[in-house]
């Protein structure tokens, strides 16, 4: 099958492969009259009509209406106006992969309204989001509204402030066909993979399964980690701590053995070579039998550079860690902050710049404003002599894709979180505060710490302790800093320490941790899988397909179904060629090729054609694969109370449950109730059990006597009362806390 080349000039009409087989023809009838009557140039200012601006979301439309005034009509397309139909492939593979776009269901009335407004207006501006998907939305709108390819109809708002909006409206641009091509290539690739693999999975594993290009890589990453955990064999080791003090008892130290007979006991910062109780006892005996003499005490100042401002992935990671927000929720809140909040005395104003970005670039105006703020509100030592420059900004010529975008930052540094707190929801306030503090910290002076190392000898044993003290907080006055160890009091060499206690603790090496939301996003980004617009939906898609679940620690693990699907895909679609959809390296290369399409270095048809040639061949081979049996449901050793057949564990949308093995003849089912070992705080009779909500499958806690007792809680009860106010305590990880007052304490897990 041949692949054609297509022109990519901004002023060139849409080439073969871009036109649709259905709606383009239909829309011509309704727009020919509009297009013929007058040219909808965005710069038109004459005429009685107003200028029509079409954005994606209704909230953004409201914000822009307030900013631009009576000479503009702002309407929302409410996302895509055209898309591929869900019921079929809708890609003409034999005709240069021509996509069949149709009007999104339910948008006929909106289309007619926009056509009428365009007819009456003196100009049309297309102001969808400034990314690839937004460019594709603008391209479809141009087709619907009869806007010619050589018209400057496109405006992009990287921040929604009055100056930025008015400047963009006065300086419209062309639709970037290269971005449209990159987005169209991604959409076609994803459609080809999903609509080709899904029927294969139905045939070989189970009806109703699905697979995706990026999601399959993420599933493989989670499954590979689970296989590492299952294969892991723990190794024992002993941690020895020598508690010492100076002769005057003023300073205390906790030393640990580092060497024995001059040979290191450490491996990967763990005393893995103290691997038997006999060796641990030998070292302890040596410490007890000898004087502990200080051999070295050194301090060295360390400078800690300010953290970079947020890009999409790091915002999602920190919001997950610090605010317990899932990425999709983080992006919804960020979208609202970007589109505009009604601030008393200011009106509707966008509080942050565009939140889908992988750039660390900051405009000179924003840097100057931030430095002025720091100068006015902090002591002079908190302002560095020169602005802090990060990554992409210093090498922007090599990162054309990112050049138009900035990092995520507040649009007005003077709008501090506390000054607008009353105008924000609690979640908006927390996320805005995170963004504001991170950006402001990024332009502050380095933090400075003193790192101390204490070494001592006890016969054949060399001991060590490290500590770190913050000398100057710098940027860390706004953003937390991680220091190694605690403060170490200075001590002279050859001083003898008094041993107060020596103890050993038997531990075992741990398997690699399962991925959290933040950890998965970080791994995907490091491997070049996905882009800012995709991170938020990847894990959610896998969860909705029942391929993965979260445990109580909010870490992902694959279900039996997920492992089965991954094993099948890895066997047939991980051959290190162009069909390797579960290989992170291949998917990263595909993302790079899409970037090259956007940069006009490659044709989208070449990228799609090369992929399809290998992929379709592999799919054909996989058609001969044997059927894969899913693991049989696990019997629980209990008979069904309704029909007498065995009860088994099954897995549904919200996790495991108990059901009759005689289904569908018998439909008996009940949830699996996990007893957490705490009596019900309300009735005192039942036990607190873990449940899943019917809407969303969120974990909550209730009484085992329900419906006789209606106790429920989103927080896990700790089974204790608060020592300060007497209310119930709750547990999260290793922390117990009171929801009634500010009491909080750490618990011993072991």
Q: What is the pLDDT of residues 521-576, one digit of tens each?
A: 999 988 888 877 788 889 989 988 889 988 878 899 999 899 999 999 998 887 66
Higher pLDDT, 36 or 166: 166
> Residue 278 in contact with residue 272, Cβ under 8 Å?
no
Tell me the C-alpha distance between 519 and 522, whole Å: 5
Distance, CA of 382 to CA of 57 (rounded, Å): 40
Tens of pLDDT along 636-666?
Answer: 889 999 999 999 988 765 567 889 998 889 9
Contact status, residue 666 vs residue 640, Cβ threshold 8 Å? yes
- pLDDT at position 144 is 95
- pLDDT, residue 653, reads 59
Q: Is the pLDDT of residue 97 over 50?
A: yes
The single residue of 237, 354, 432, 701 carrying the catalytic annotation is 354
Cis omega (within 30 of 0) for bond into 707: yes
Instruction: Grade residue 47 by pLDDT with cuts at 50, 70 and 90.
Output: very low
Strand 461-472 relative to strand 496-508, pairing = unpaired
Secondary structure (DSSP) of 654-709: TEEEEEETTTTT---EEEPPEEEEEE-TTTSSSEEEEEE-TTT--EEEEETTTTT-
Question: Which letter does DSSP use for residue 173 in this model?
Answer: B
Q: Examine the pLDDT at 418 and tell me if it is beyond 50.
A: yes
The one-character DSSP state at 86 is T
**Structure tokens given for 478:** 């706004």
- What pLDDT was estimated at residue 395? 35
> Counting Cβ atoms within 10 Å, is residue 638 exposed (0-12), middle (13-18) or buried (19+)?
exposed
**With 90 as the cut, is the pLDDT of residue 583 above it?**
no
The C-alpha atoms of residue 480 and residue 428 are separated, in whole angstroms, by: 20
Distance CA(153)–CA(144), nearest Å, equals 13
Residue-wise pLDDT for 664-716, tens only, equals: 899 898 877 778 889 999 998 899 998 877 666 678 899 988 889 999 999 89
- pLDDT attached to residue 579: 56
Give Cβ neighbours of residue 588 (< 8 Å, ≥ 6 apart).
Answer: 527, 528, 529
**Which pLDDT belongs to residue 243?**
96
pTM for this one? 0.79
Among residues 466, 462, 427, which one has the least CA distance to residue 450? 466
The two three-digit tokens of residue 313, written as one number: 């992935």
d(CA 728, CA 720): 6
With a cut of 60, say whether residue 45 has pLDDT above it: no
Task: Say which residue, 587 or 250, is predicted with more confidence.
Answer: 250
Which of 53-57, 146-150, 471-475, 566-570 shows the lowest per-residue confidence on average (mean pLDDT)? 146-150
Cβ(57)–Cβ(339) under 8 Å? Answer: yes
Dihedral, CA of residue 294, residue 296, residue 299 and residue 300, to nearest 10: -160
pLDDT at position 33 over 60: no
Under DSSP, the state recorded for 221 is: H
Q: Which residue has the higher pLDDT, 10 or 623?
A: 623
**pLDDT for the residue 225:** 95
Whole-angstrom distance, CA of residue 676 vs CA of residue 118: 62
Q: What is the arithmetic mean of pLDDT over 409-414?
A: 96
Q: What is the pLDDT of residue 11?
A: 34
Residue 580 confidence (pLDDT) = 72
The strand pairing partners of 730, in sequence order, are 717, 737
Say which range, 8-22, 111-125, 479-493, 631-645, has the weakest mean pLDDT: 8-22
Q: How confident is the model at residue 632 (pLDDT cuts 50, 70, 90)?
A: confident
Q: Give the other-Cβ count within 10 Å of 433's Cβ.
A: 17
Q: What secondary structure letter does DSSP report for 310? A: B
What pLDDT, on a 0 to 100 scale, did the predictor assign at position 654?
59
Q: Is 354 a catalytic residue?
A: yes
Check pLDDT > 60 for residue 1: no
pLDDT the model gives residue 697: 66
671 - beta bridge partners?
657
Per-residue model confidence as pLDDT tens digits over 119-160? 999 999 999 999 999 999 999 999 999 998 789 999 999 999
User: In the predicted model, what is the mean pLDDT of residues 323-330?
Assistant: 92
pLDDT digits (tens, 9 = 90+) for 258-281: 999 999 999 988 999 999 999 999
- Distance between CA atoms of 123 and 54, rounded to whole angstroms? 11
Mean pLDDT of the chain: 87
| CB of 130 closer than 8 Å to CB of 158 | yes
pLDDT category at 577 given cuts 50, 70, 90 is low
Residue 471's CB is within 10 A of a number of other CB atoms, namely 12
Give the model's pLDDT for residue 445.
Answer: 98
Name the band, by pLDDT with cuts 50, 70 and 90, for residue 634. confident
Give the torsion through C-alpha atoms of 466, 471, 476, 481, to 10 deg.
0
Average pLDDT over residues 349-377: 94
Q: According to the model, what pLDDT value does residue 278 have?
A: 96
Of 160, 155, 189, 150, which Cα lies nearest the Cα of 172?
155
Which token pair is 158? 């990287």
Nearest residue to 702 (alpha-carbon basis) of 670, 680, 669? 680
User: What angle is formed at CA 326 by the lines to CA 320 and CA 330, rounded to 5 degrees?
Assistant: 85
């Amino acid at each position: 099958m041949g692949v054609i080349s297509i022109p990519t000039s901004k002023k060139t009409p849409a080439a073969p492969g871009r036109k649709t087989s259905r709606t383009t023809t239909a829309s011509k009838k309704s727009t020919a009259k509009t297009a013929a009557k007058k040219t909808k140039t965005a710069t038109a200012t004459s005429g009685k009509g107003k200028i029509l601006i079409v954005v994606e979301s209704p909230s953004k439309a409201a914000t822009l209406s307030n900013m631009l005034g009576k000479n503009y009509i702002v309407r929302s397309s409410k996302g895509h106006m055209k898309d591929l139909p869900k019921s079929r492939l809708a890609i003409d593979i034999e005709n240069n992969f021509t996509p069949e776009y149709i009007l999104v269901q339910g948008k006929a009335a909106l289309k007619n309204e926009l056509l009428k407004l365009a007819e009456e207006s003196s100009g049309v501006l297309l102001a969808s989001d400034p990314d690839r998907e937004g460019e594709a939305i603008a391209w479809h709108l141009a087709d619907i509204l009869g806007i010619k390819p050589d018209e400057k109809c496109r405006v992009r708002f990287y921040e929604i402030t009055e100056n930025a909006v008015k400047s963009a409206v006065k300086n419209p641009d062309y639709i970037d066909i290269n971005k449209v091509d990159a987005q169209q290539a991604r959409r076609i690739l994803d459609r080809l993979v999903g609509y080709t693999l899904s029927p294969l999975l139905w045939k070989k594993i189970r009806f109703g399964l699905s697979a995706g290009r990026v999601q399959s890589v993420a599933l493989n990453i989670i499954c590979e980690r689970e296989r590492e955990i299952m294969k892991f064999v723990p190794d024992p080791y002993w941690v020895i701590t020598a508690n010492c003090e100076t002769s005057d008892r003023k300073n205390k130290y906790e030393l640990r053995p580092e060497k024995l007979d001059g040979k290191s006991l450490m491996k990967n910062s763990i005393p893995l070579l103290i691997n038997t109780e006999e060796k641990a006892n030998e070292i302890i005996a040596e410490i007890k039998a000898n004087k502990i003499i200080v051999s070295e005490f050194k301090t060295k100042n360390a400078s800690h550079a300010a953290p970079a401002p947020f890009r999409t992935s790091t915002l999602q990671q920190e919001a997950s860690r610090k605010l317990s927000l899932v990425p999709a929720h983080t992006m919804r809140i960020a979208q609202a902050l970007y589109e505009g909040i009604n601030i008393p005395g200011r009106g509707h104003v966008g509080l942050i710049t565009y939140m889908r970005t992988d750039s660390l670039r900051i405009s000179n105006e924003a840097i100057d404003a931030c430095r002025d703020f720091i100068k006015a509100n902090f002591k002079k030592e908190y302002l560095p002599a020169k602005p802090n420059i990060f990554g992409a900004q210093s090498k922007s010529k090599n990162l054309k894709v990112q050049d138009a975008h900035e990092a995520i930052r507040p649009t007005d540094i003077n709008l501090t979180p506390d000054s607008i707190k009353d105008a924000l929801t609690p979640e908006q306030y927390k996320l805005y505060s995170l963004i504001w503090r991170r950006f402001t910290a990024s332009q502050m002076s380095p933090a400075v710490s003193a790192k101390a190392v204490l070494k001592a000898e006890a016969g054949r044993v060399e001991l060590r302790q490290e500590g770190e003290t913050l000398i100057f907080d710098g940027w860390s006055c706004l953003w937390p800093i991680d220091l190694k160890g605690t403060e170490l009091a200075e001590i002279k060499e050859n001083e003898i320490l008094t041993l107060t206690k020596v103890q050993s603790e038997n531990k075992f090496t741990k398997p690699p941790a399962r991925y959290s939301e933040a950890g998965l996003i970080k791994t995907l980004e490091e491997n070049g899988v996905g882009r800012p617009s995709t991170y938020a939906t990847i894990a959610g898609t896998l969860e909705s397909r029942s391929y993965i679940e979260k445990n109580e620690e909010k870490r992902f693990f694959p279900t039996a179904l997920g492992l089965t699907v991954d094993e099948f895909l890895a066997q047939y679609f991980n051959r290190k060629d162009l069909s390797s959809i579960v290989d992170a390296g291949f998917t990263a290369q595909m993302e790079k090729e899409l970037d090259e399409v956007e940069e006009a270095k490659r044709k989208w048809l070449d990228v799609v054609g090369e992929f399809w040639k290998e992929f379709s061949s592999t799919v054909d081979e996989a058609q001969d694969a044997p059927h894969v049996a899913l693991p049989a449901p696990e019997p629980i050793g209990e008979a069904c109370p309704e029909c007498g057949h065995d009860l088994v564990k099954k897995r549904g949308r919200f996790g495991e449950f108990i059901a009759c093995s005689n289904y569908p003849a018998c439909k008996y089912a009940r949830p699996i109730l996990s007893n957490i070992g705490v009596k019900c705080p309300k009735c005192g009779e039942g036990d607190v059990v873990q449940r899943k909500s019917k809407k969303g499958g969120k974990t909550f806690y209730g009484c085992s006597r329900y419906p006789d007792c209606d106790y429920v809680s989103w927080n896990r009860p700790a089974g204790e009362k608060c020592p300060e106010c007497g209310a119930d305590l709750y547990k999260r990880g290793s922390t117990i806390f009171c929801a009634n007052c500010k009491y909080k304490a750490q618990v011993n897990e072991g």
